[in-house]
């Protein structure tokens, strides 16, 4: 019993020997999995992005005044504004997420996925709606921390779900589908916020209505999460033949489906694996852009001489480009082998160019150049989506996959904490030089780490290919919950 418990749950269904499956049945199973999982994950991660990004719009609707998030010093000429409280309100969300990532990730592995995800998401909905009841910046600090803690269950859960339902080659497109809601909900959220900006009655401020809506949408998603099966082995929306085919087809990737036992040996391997640290550096560097944009984007655009409402509307080009780049890189990564890291490096280039354009162009009334630069920084979405795909498709062993998923979003939190701190209101007249220079340096670091990871994965594959293979053993080891380093038949995706 202990040995069976330690293996992948797919073993009980398909065993150690390979089985022939009807490709028509397998294709039908994949279509059903796509229809069930992908829309839910797009909506779910869209809500994750929306309810933290709306802080950037809410501050334009009176939240800064109501909660004393900015302090104006009129003793100086001209008067100066201190936005450090707003920066901390933005960053504390990610401190909360940092606190929740590892415990939430391992809880999802150990316990029934649908029940724990549903319960935590419903709790998150309540915390989100409580934002409307906050009356001080200290209260907002507490709310943001706990919001981050409960939200931490969603992105890591989604990464593990995709790695447990899809082959290595399929994961690029599927990871990009749910992560593309970053751009999609930048547009949809901007449209909703624009609408709420017109609301003046009802006894509440516009920013309070925004958070109540986000909470209601989150609650609907939380109730739907209770229907989520643990893996394709128990997928109730598939027929028995489709479940068998859905599991058996994953044998070739050697990544496994799901194992509920948390293995400390896999945690130790993760800590000693250089890939873990390179992925961490890449994600932390790339996500500094989001940290600045989600909390300060509309505020920065308003300094280009545009009104509050225009500043919200100009999130649309940024979100649209982000959405398209994520989907395009995801499609190309699934269509062509071993181009993901190359695409990752290429998507860094426009972000660097956009930061330079914003920094060095003239910020005159209704300035167009910095707005163009701001829009093309939306390429960062493709960079981050590819980091997630590269990180998750290159680890095996369920505990190690959970560890990698949590590590990716720890780095995500670090980037989101650092980004807002680069915005110095005192340097507005100099175009926030620390922000743009800092972001450019971060993306250069991301490129360097990507090159190093590419070289390491190439060398690792060469070593594995030098060892004689045995197809019978390859099939046998597929569902033994071995890590990528333990399994000689695992191959890294570039």
Per-residue pLDDT tens over the stretch 81-102: 666 777 777 778 888 888 888 8
Q: Sign of dihedral through CA atoms 171, 177, 181, 187?
A: positive
State residue 280's pLDDT score: 94
**How many domains does the chain fold into?**
1
In-domain check, residue 352: yes
Nearest to 9 by CA among 155, 110, 104, 117: 110
In-domain check, residue 13: no
State residue 359's pLDDT score: 79
Pair 248, 255: CB distance under 8 Å: no
In-domain check, residue 430: yes
For residue 80, which phi and psi values (nearest 5 degrees)? -115, 150
State residue 2's pLDDT score: 42
Beta-ladder partners of 71: 82
State residue 493's pLDDT score: 85
User: Half-sphere exposure of 166 toward its Cβ, with a 13 Å CA cutoff?
Assistant: 26
Higher pLDDT among residues 45 and 194, named by residue:
45
The per-residue pLDDT of the chain, averaged, comes to 81
In-domain check, residue 29: no
In-domain check, residue 343: yes
Higher pLDDT among residues 254 and 186, named by residue:
186
Please compute the mean of the pLDDT values over residues 179-184 and round it to a whole number.
81
5 has a pLDDT exceeding 60: no
- Could you write out the DSSP letters of every residue in 427-442? GGGGT-HHHHHHHHHH
Higher pLDDT among residues 318 and 8, named by residue:
318
Q: What is the CATH number of the domain that holds 344?
A: 1.20.1250.20
Pair 355, 439: CB distance under 8 Å: yes
State residue 128's pLDDT score: 87
* H helical segments located in 59-167: 63-66, 84-110, 113-129, 137-151, 153-165
422 has a pLDDT exceeding 80: no
Q: Note the pLDDT tens digit of each residue in 212-236.
A: 888 898 999 999 999 888 888 888 8
Alpha-carbon span 7 to 481, nearest angstrom: 5
State the Cα torsion 443-155-391-486 to the nearest 10°: 150
Print the domain residue range for 322: 35-70+81-233+263-477
Residue with tokens 């600090």: 141
Alpha-carbon span 118 to 82, nearest angstrom: 40
Pair 132, 212: CB distance under 8 Å: yes
Please list, residue by residue across 203-216, b when 16 or more beta carbons sit within 10 angstroms of its beta carbon and e when fewer do: eebbbbbbbbbbbe
In-domain check, residue 75: no
Nearest to 90 by CA among 353, 288, 247, 261: 288
**Count of CB atoms within 10 A of residue 57's CB?**
26
484 has a pLDDT exceeding 60: yes
Ranges 273-277, 345-349, 414-418: which has the least confidence: 414-418
* H helical segments located in 59-83: 63-66
State residue 275's pLDDT score: 93
Q: How confident is the model at residue 105 (pLDDT cuts 50, 70, 90)?
A: confident
Using CB atoms within 10 Å of the CB of residue 139, give its burial: 0 to 12 exposed, 13 to 18 middle, 19+ buried: middle
Alpha-carbon span 230 to 385, nearest angstrom: 24
- Pick the most confident of 263-272, 317-326, 425-434: 263-272
In-domain check, residue 1: no
State residue 302's pLDDT score: 64
Residue with tokens 């933005």: 90
Beta-ladder partners of 73: 80
Cis check for the bond before 78: say yes or no (omega within 30 of 0): yes
What percent of the chain is predicted at pLDDT more than 70?
A: 79
Tokens of 120: 């935590």
Whole-Å CA distances, 478 to 9, 14, 252, 253, 404: 12, 11, 7, 8, 20
DSSP β-ladder status, 80-82 and 71-73: antiparallel
In-domain check, residue 469: yes
Q: How confident is the model at residue 445 (pLDDT cuts 50, 70, 90)?
A: very high
**Which residues touch 223 (CB under 8 Å, ≥6 apart)?**
118, 122
Using CB atoms within 10 Å of the CB of residue 331, give its burial: 0 to 12 exposed, 13 to 18 middle, 19+ buried: middle
3-state secondary structure at position 414: helix
344 has a pLDDT exceeding 90: yes
* H helical segments located in 287-432: 288-302, 308-313, 315-335, 340-360, 369-376, 380-393, 398-421
448 has a pLDDT exceeding 90: yes
State residue 7's pLDDT score: 65
What percent of the chain is predicted at pLDDT more than 90?
A: 16
Beta-ladder partners of 81: 72
Q: How confident is the model at residue 47 (pLDDT cuts 50, 70, 90)?
A: confident
Residue with tokens 């996959």: 401
Higher pLDDT among residues 189 and 376, named by residue:
376
Ranges 123-127, 139-143, 316-320, 462-466: which has the least confidence: 316-320
Q: Note the pLDDT tens digit of each residue in 284-329.
A: 999 888 766 655 666 666 666 666 666 667 777 877 888 889 889 9
């Amino acid at each position: 019993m202990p040995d069976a418990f330690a293996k992948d749950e797919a073993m009980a269904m398909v065993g150690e020997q390979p089985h022939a499956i009807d490709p028509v049945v397998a294709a039908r199973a994949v279509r059903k999995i796509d229809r069930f999982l992908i829309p839910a994950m797009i909506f779910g991660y869209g809500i994750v992005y929306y309810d933290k990004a709306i802080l950037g719009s809410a501050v334009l609707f009176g939240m800064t005044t109501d909660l004393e998030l900015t302090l104006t010093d009129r003793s100086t000429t001209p008067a100066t504004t201190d936005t450090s409280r707003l920066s901390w309100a933005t960053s504390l969300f990610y401190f909360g997420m940092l606190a929740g990532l590892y415990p939430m990730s391992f809880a999802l592995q150990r316990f029934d996925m649908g029940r724990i995800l549903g319960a935590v998401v419903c709790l998150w909905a309540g915390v989100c709606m409580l934002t409307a009841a906050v009356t001080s910046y200290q209260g907002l600090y507490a709310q943001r921390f706990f919001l981050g803690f409960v939200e931490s269950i969603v992105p890591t859960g989604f990464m593990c779900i995709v790695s447990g339902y899809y082959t290595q080659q399929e994961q690029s497109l599927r990871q990009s589908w749910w992560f593309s809601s970053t751009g999609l909900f930048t547009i949809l959220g901007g449209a909703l916020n624009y609408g709420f900006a017109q609301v003046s009655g009802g006894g509440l401020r516009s920013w309070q209505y925004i958070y109540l809506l986000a909470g209601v949408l989150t609650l609907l998603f939380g109730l739907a999460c209770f229907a989520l099966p643990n893996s394709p082995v128990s997928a109730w929306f598939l027929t028995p033949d489709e479940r068998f085919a859905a599991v058996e087809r994953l044998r070739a990737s050697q990544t496994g489906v799901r194992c509920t036992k948390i293995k400390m040996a896999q945690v130790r391997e993760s800590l000693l694996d250089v890939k873990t640290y390179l992925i961490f550096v890449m994600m932390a560097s790339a996500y500094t852009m989001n940290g600045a944009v989600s909390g300060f984007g509309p505020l920065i655009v308003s300094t280009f001489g545009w009104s509050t409402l225009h500043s919200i509307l100009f999130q649309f080009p940024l979100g649209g480009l982000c959405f398209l780049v994520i989907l395009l890189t995801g499609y190309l990564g699934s269509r062509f082998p071993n181009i993901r890291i190359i695409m990752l490096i290429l998507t860094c280039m426009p972000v660097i160019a956009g930061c330079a354009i914003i920094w060095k162009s003239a910020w005159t009334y209704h300035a167009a150049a910095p707005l163009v630069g701001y829009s093309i920084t939306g390429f960062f979405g493709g960079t981050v989506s590819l980091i997630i795909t590269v990180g998750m498709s290159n680890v095996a062993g369920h505990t190690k996959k959970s560890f990698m998923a949590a590590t990716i979003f720890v780095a995500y939190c670090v980037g989101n904490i650092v980004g807002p701190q680069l915005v110095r209101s005192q340097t507005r007249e100099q175009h926030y030089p620390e922000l743009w220079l800092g972001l450019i340096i971060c993306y250069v670091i991301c490129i360097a780490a990507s090159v190093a990871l590419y070289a390491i994965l190439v060398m690792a594959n060469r070593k594995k290919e030098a060892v004689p293979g045995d197809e019978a053993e390859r099939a046998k080891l597929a569902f033994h919950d071995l890590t990528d380093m333990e399994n000689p038949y695992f191959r890294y995706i570039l």
